[in-house]
Amino acid sequence: MSASKTLRKLEVVSPVPADIDIANSVEPFHISEIAKELNLSPKHYDLYGKYKAKVLLPVLDELEGSGDGYYVVVGGITPTPLGEGKSTTTVGLCQAMGAFLDKKVATCLRQPSQGPTFGIKGGAAGGGYSQVIPMDEFNLHLTGDIHAITAANNLLAAAIDTRIFHESTQSDKALLNRLCPPNKEGKRSFSDIMFRRLKRLGISKTKPEELTPQEVKKFARLDIDPASITWRRVMDVNDRFLRKITVGQGPEEKGMVRETGFDISVASEIMAVLALTTSLADMRERLGKMVIGNSKAGDPVTADDLGVGGALTVLMKDAINPTLMQTLEGTPVLVHAGPFANIAHGNSSIVADKIALKLVGPGGFVVTEAGFGSDIGTEKFMNIKCRYSGLTPQCAVIVATIRALKMHGGGPEVVAGKPLDRAYTTENVSLVEAGCVNLARHISNTKAYGVNVVVAVNMFATDSEAELNAVRNAALTAGAYDAVVCTHHAHGGKGAVELGIAVQKACGNVTQPLKFLYSLDISIKEKIEAIARSYGASGVEYSEQAEKQIEMYSRQGFSGLPICMAKTQYSFSHQASEKGAPTGFVLPIRDVRASIGAGFIYPLVGTMSTMPGLPTRPCFYDIDLDTATGKVIGLS
């Protein structure tokens, strides 16, 4: 690859300024320049302003016969509540590959939710001198994908309550007549989407008047059991007061009050569908298959049963196209999807990864990020995402910090917003060594998939050489292909050159095929237990509710789906306080739910919040607009 015209030499400053100040100090290249470096012509993308573009799906069809680049996934050790810099490492590694190692490279990242951006966590564009820019656009509306998901999700929610309302006041015949109104000639017909329900019911008739009274009842009356409804409304704001609400209190709703609640938009199954879909046609099928609850007879009710699958697809037709952006050093980034890493699989989209692998081509590199520690993000990347995509990674990066390892070695509690204890800012090699049991288990778990593992140690100013050497030695002893100290936060791509070299070598030395943790043809419980063993559990305990749900999903024909565990990211176990590498615990499964459209069953381990709350002092205190320049200030 010849030297890229879009690469930018960074002028780094010490100490490292605020993320937004670094982002605002760089004038991004026009996005058409980034597209040109990837050999994308103007017909391959739609511009969204000067610095963002939607890459269109037909690119995949055009490049179908061309080869893929190397595929790298970035996970992490079990993090502290402060995060260990996984996104920053993903970006820094790509900047090193593109700007210093002369490789064609693309970064694939999730789109951040505005909830954490204005809440306690801040944005997710990376940090320091390893960021995606424009940072404010990345962290806010971007190209509207999350808004499209919100609109589609809430349309389905409205359809559910409306259908229950109308069914409660009408006869079977009246329902059929309203669902299939006469045309100008006075003839009734089924709309196209209705044939999907008829087929599911085993009814082959093509005209409404041909239905028997029993068939009219089966077709027209969904008979949704309100107690079984799992579909909730969403919004992209942290709003704790919407976790539990009642709807239907208006006088026109005739006393049809029921309890429900709001989730944050990124927790919607539609977001998970977007991340796991492989084409527009596949997305249409997945959206239609989403199960919102059961009928009173115990049969699943889908979005297509409600007649809304096509409308949902229309709302999502632009969201399926990934957004092209750039790093501080001018390397390309595809931003797409952002599912919760607890109740969903926490990875960016298959579509973005597939497009990127074709665009970089053989010898190029695509680096994609998996949410949270590798026990959650990388496990789901391998067992769910790679199953549906058919893609095989050659290398997995595990991000570690001295801070997190000290915590796992028995260090004091780390609390977001509070100063770090002195144990984390002074040398303590024995504490680091004790904590490396956590890193070792992440390495062995990840190696079991047949990929080479490279450990990236994010260096902080307070880390000593002896501590860093202890991590490197522990990683190599545990079977890592290599372990590298990185300073990309302070130095940009230059601080991740050694990591880039290690990843290149690891990708070129893969000797095994991809191996999954479990096969799909075993039972739901056997899959859950295989994942639990990887955490270190000695067994699994199912609540009465979980047993009931497993039996129901098996009866409904969903037992062949992969498993997406919903558990804390702060421990291998179900208890966030259990640090290191706990063993011998019994993993409690509180409940089991299903995202049938997305394509997974998700067991709930403990209590999972799907609507975060705002702290006493949210990030929004610092966010404002410089009205003289129009620039956003205070984003973190």
CA distance 526 to 544: 17
Longest Cα–Cα distance in the chain:
86
pLDDT tens-digit map of 562-611: 999 999 999 999 999 999 999 999 999 999 999 999 999 999 997 777 88
Three-state SS string across 134-160, please?
CHHHHHCCCCCHHHHHHHHHHHHHHHH
Per cent of the chain over pLDDT 70 is 99
pLDDT tens-digit map of 208-255: 999 999 999 999 999 999 999 999 999 999 888 999 999 999 888 877
* Domains recognised in the chain with CATH numbers: 19-143+318-508 (3.40.50.300), 146-312 (3.30.1510.10), 524-604 (3.10.410.10)
CA distance 593 to 342: 13
pLDDT tens-digit map of 378-387: 999 999 999 9
Please, are residues 415 and 407 in contact by the beta-carbon 8 Å criterion?
Answer: no
86: left (phi over 0), alpha (psi -120 to 50) or beta: alpha
Kindly report the pTM of this predicted structure: 0.94
Average pLDDT of the residues of the chain: 93
pLDDT tens-digit map of 426-464: 999 999 999 999 999 999 999 999 999 999 999 999 999
Q: Which of 250, 292, 340 is nearest to 153 (CA)?
A: 292
**Mode of pairing for the β-strands spanning 262-264 and 233-235:** parallel
Q: Say yes or no to pLDDT of 2 above 60.
A: no
Please, are residues 270 and 146 in contact by the beta-carbon 8 Å criterion?
Answer: no
- What per-residue confidence (pLDDT) applies to 458? 96
Please, are residues 130 and 138 in contact by the beta-carbon 8 Å criterion?
Answer: no
- What per-residue confidence (pLDDT) applies to 344? 85
Query: 483-487 contacts: CB < 8 A, separation 24 or more?
Result: 483/454, 483/455, 483/457, 484/454, 484/455, 484/456, 484/457, 485/457, 485/459, 486/89, 486/92, 486/456, 486/457, 486/458, 486/459, 487/459
225: left (phi over 0), alpha (psi -120 to 50) or beta: beta
Q: Say yes or no to pLDDT of 266 above 60.
A: yes
- What per-residue confidence (pLDDT) applies to 609? 79
CA distance 632 to 218: 55
CA distance 197 to 204: 10
- What per-residue confidence (pLDDT) applies to 1? 40
Q: Say yes or no to pLDDT of 494 above 50.
A: yes
pLDDT level of residue 194 (50, 70, 90 thresholds): very high
pLDDT tens-digit map of 325-384: 999 999 999 999 988 777 788 899 999 999 999 999 999 999 999 988 899 999 999 999
Per cent of the chain over pLDDT 90 is 81
Query: What is the arithmetic mean of pLDDT over 99-118?
Result: 90
